[in-house]
């Protein structure tokens, strides 16, 4: 009887796959890092650190005519921070994504659940892929697709307390709404973004949401061998300290295709900041939920869990990328300065960072990457970050990425 039941279930499953597709894939990504000045200048007598972190993911995807379902199970750990004989009470696999996307019409769909949000160059919304844990949101997303693509997302966060409406959870917002509009042709790619971000703030015994608004545009225009791109965003509203917010972000890039294998990029970005003695308003731009590791140097001195509500940043950079066969090499050079005054006498120039990356494809599902970065800091960076500019501030890593497809 049990055999007949099992055969029947398998028959139903196989039959359901006639018009549906199921895929199962994985990711194993251990990364060993050497750090002596990562994120902040090292002290003169500071010893370097060496550790290995690992991300493990199992990705389930199901597709049929009117429905898509995605599930990503994830485990992130530092080698050695968990006992060999561990119980499941404290260390459990988390759900990085769990969503369903339903077609409401030929042009309209609704995607609900825990999901990654990544738009344009990932400056405001990105999946944070460098961080082993990544970034995902609990959100309902309406998607309109035709000549113009429109996404409208809405989120409201609570902690399950039925006696009040107080949110004391870990996320950066209690309420969020955003609208993304995109038009892409052979001649240009233009996006508009409007984001309303509500942070919970206690005023006495009452919780209120302080809303900031981020709005702006991302544009890409190819011209022969040169591709131009840029961002312009503004922020208004209030911050969590009840200060009025008035900030901006400007980025301009030009990428020249040197050859089929190589390209050279010149860019400049400024994120506005607040002067050291400014107290009445906030002019510091916050890139919010972007993949910030991608932008202002791989040593993460700026906007990777730090440098918020500060003097801002001016970043001029040159990037060279080349690849041949199964080998890719990147060299980036950043020139950092503060966008606002650090002190009455301090110079705005913060330092120069060199980032080198070499990636080798071993086979279709395996890559190994090597990276080395060096920060040449100044006294001004020392004022902001502490540590010593005289220390040898460097960082290196080796990362193996294995992405098998168990069921294609």
pLDDT > 90: percent of the chain: 82
Region 230-237: mean pLDDT is 98
Q: Is residue 123 over pLDDT 70?
A: yes
Of 191, 197, 221, the C-alpha closest to 209 is: 197
Pairwise CA distance, residues 173 & 194, whole Å = 16
Query: Which residue shows structure tokens 């389930």?
Result: 60
pLDDT > 70: percent of the chain: 94
The dihedrals phi and psi of 268, each to the nearest 5 degrees, come to -145, 135
37: tokens are 């000045």
Q: How many residues does the chain have?
A: 408
Confidence at residue 165, expressed as pLDDT on a 0 to 100 scale: 78
Which tens digit of pLDDT belongs to each residue from 303-340? 998 999 999 999 999 999 999 999 999 999 999 999 99
Of 291, 387, 265, 278, the C-alpha closest to 339 is: 278
Q: Any bridge partners for residue 73, and if so which?
A: 58, 95
Lowest mean pLDDT among 79-83, 178-182, 247-251, 325-329: 79-83
Q: Is residue 282 over pLDDT 60?
A: yes
DSSP 292: G
Confidence at residue 9, expressed as pLDDT on a 0 to 100 scale: 41
Confidence at residue 82, expressed as pLDDT on a 0 to 100 scale: 81
Q: Any bridge partners for residue 289, and if so which?
A: 125
Pairwise CA distance, residues 287 & 171, whole Å = 15
CA separation (Å) from 89 to 74, 92, 169, 179?
Answer: 16, 7, 21, 40
Region 278-285: mean pLDDT is 92
Which tens digit of pLDDT belongs to each residue from 187-202? 999 999 999 999 988 8
Contact (CB, 8 A) for 327 and 359: yes
Range list of β-strands (E), 243-290: 244-245, 247-257, 262-271, 281-282
Q: How confident is the model at residue 243 (pLDDT cuts 50, 70, 90)?
A: confident
87: tokens are 């119980």
Region 383-390: mean pLDDT is 95
The dihedrals phi and psi of 288, each to the nearest 5 degrees, come to 60, -105
Pairwise CA distance, residues 133 & 72, whole Å = 12
- What rounded mean pLDDT belongs to the chain? 92
Q: Is residue 2 over pLDDT 50?
A: no
Contact (CB, 8 A) for 342 and 380: yes
Q: How confident is the model at residue 371 (pLDDT cuts 50, 70, 90)?
A: very high
Pairwise CA distance, residues 329 & 124, whole Å = 27
Region 90-113: mean pLDDT is 92
Confidence at residue 91, expressed as pLDDT on a 0 to 100 scale: 61
Region 278-284: mean pLDDT is 91
Q: Is residue 143 over pLDDT 90?
A: yes
Confidence at residue 87, expressed as pLDDT on a 0 to 100 scale: 67
Q: How confident is the model at residue 149 (pLDDT cuts 50, 70, 90)?
A: very high
Pairwise CA distance, residues 210 & 274, whole Å = 19
Confidence at residue 6, expressed as pLDDT on a 0 to 100 scale: 46
pTM of the full structure: 0.91
Lowest mean pLDDT among 135-139, 278-282, 365-369: 278-282
The CATH code for residues 20-407 is 2.40.160.100
Range list of β-strands (E), 175-224: 175-184, 189-203, 206-223
Confidence at residue 228, expressed as pLDDT on a 0 to 100 scale: 98
CA separation (Å) from 230 to 121, 223, 250?
Answer: 9, 14, 7
Which tens digit of pLDDT belongs to each residue from 26-83? 999 999 999 999 999 999 999 999 999 999 999 999 999 999 999 999 999 999 988 7
Query: CA torsion angle for 154, 160, 163, 165 (degrees, to 10)?
Result: -30
Q: Is residue 12 over pLDDT 90?
A: no
């Amino acid at each position: 009887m049990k055999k007949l039941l099992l055969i029947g279930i398998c028959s139903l499953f196989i039959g359901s796959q006639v018009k549906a597709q199921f895929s199962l894939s994985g990711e194993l990504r251990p990364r060993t890092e050497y750090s002596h000045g990562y994120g902040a200048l090292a002290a003169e007598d500071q010893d370097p650190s060496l550790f290995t972190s690992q991300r493990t993911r199992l990705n389930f995807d199901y597709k049929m005519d009117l429905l898509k379902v995605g599930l990503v199970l994830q485990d992130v750990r530092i080698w050695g921070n968990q006992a060999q004989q561990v119980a499941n009470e404290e260390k459990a696999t988390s759900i990085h994504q769990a969503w369903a996307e339903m077609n409401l019409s030929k042009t309209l769909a609704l995607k609900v659940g825990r999901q990654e949000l990544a738009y344009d160059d990932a400056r405001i919304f990105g999946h944070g892929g460098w961080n082993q844990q990544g970034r995902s949101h609990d959100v309902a997303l309406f998607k309109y697709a035709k000549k113009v693509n429109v996404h409208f997302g809405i989120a409201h966060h609570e902690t399950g307390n039925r006696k009040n409406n107080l949110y004391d959870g870990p996320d950066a917002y209690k309420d969020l709404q955003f609208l993304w509009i995109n038009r892409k042709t052979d001649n240009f790619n233009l996006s508009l973004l409007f984001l309303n971000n509500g942070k919970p703030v206690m005023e006495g015994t009452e919780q209120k949401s302080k809303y900031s608004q981020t709005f702006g545009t991302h544009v890409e225009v190819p011209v022969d061998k040169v591709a131009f791109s840029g961002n312009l965003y503004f922020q208004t509203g209030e911050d969590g300290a009840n200060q009025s917010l008035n900030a901006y972000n400007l980025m301009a890039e030009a990428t020249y295709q040197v050859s089929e294998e190589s390209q050279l990029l010149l860019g400049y970005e400024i994120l506005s900041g607040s002067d050291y003695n400014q107290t009445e308003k906030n002019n510091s731009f916050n890139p919010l939920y972007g993949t910030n590791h991608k932008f202002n140097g791989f040593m993460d001195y700026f906007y990777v869990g730090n440098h918020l509500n500060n003097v801002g940043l001016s970043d001029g950079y040159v990037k060279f990328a080349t690849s041949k066969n199964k080998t890719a090499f990147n060299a980036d050079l950043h020139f950092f300065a503060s966008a606002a005054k650090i002190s009455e006498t301090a110079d705005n120039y913060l330092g120069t960072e060199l980032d080198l990356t070499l990636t080798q494809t071993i086979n279709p599902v395996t890559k190994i990457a090597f990276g080395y970065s060096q920060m040449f800091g100044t006294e001004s960076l020392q004022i902001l970050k502490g540590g010593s500019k005289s220390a040898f501030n460097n960082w290196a890593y080796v990362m193996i990425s294995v992405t098998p497809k168990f069921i294609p």
